Amino acid sequence: MENVNPVTAFVVFVIIWWLVLFTVLPWGVRRSENPEEGHDHGAPVRAQIGRKLLITTGIAIVLFGVFVGLVGTTDISLRDLAEKYAS
């Protein structure tokens, strides 16, 4: 990945991480059958945010590795893709 700026690589990782987070957040969500007074009926019983953040990070690392592999082994670059699809 010698032709990708480290800042660009970081931004790509952050974008991948956020996209994966939004797909992982609904996993395992269970609503409370009898919520207490003042609680939202759709609020999860246990959100398990820490576990979901770890899962998100693991999946994002794998997907970023695929991205790095593609950029490193092919002639694909982010600049070329931007120029191709910008018009």
Question: For residue 31, what are the β-bridge partners?
Answer: 44
Q: In whole numbers, what is the pLDDT of the chain averaged over residues? A: 86
pLDDT at 49: 92
- Can you tell me which residue has the tokens 């592999």? 69
pLDDT at 76: 75
Tell me the pTM.
0.77
Q: How large a percentage of the chain has pLDDT more than 90? A: 39
pLDDT tens-digit series, residues 22-61? 999 999 888 777 777 877 777 788 888 999 999 999 999 9
pLDDT at 74: 82
The helix/strand/coil state of 77 is coil
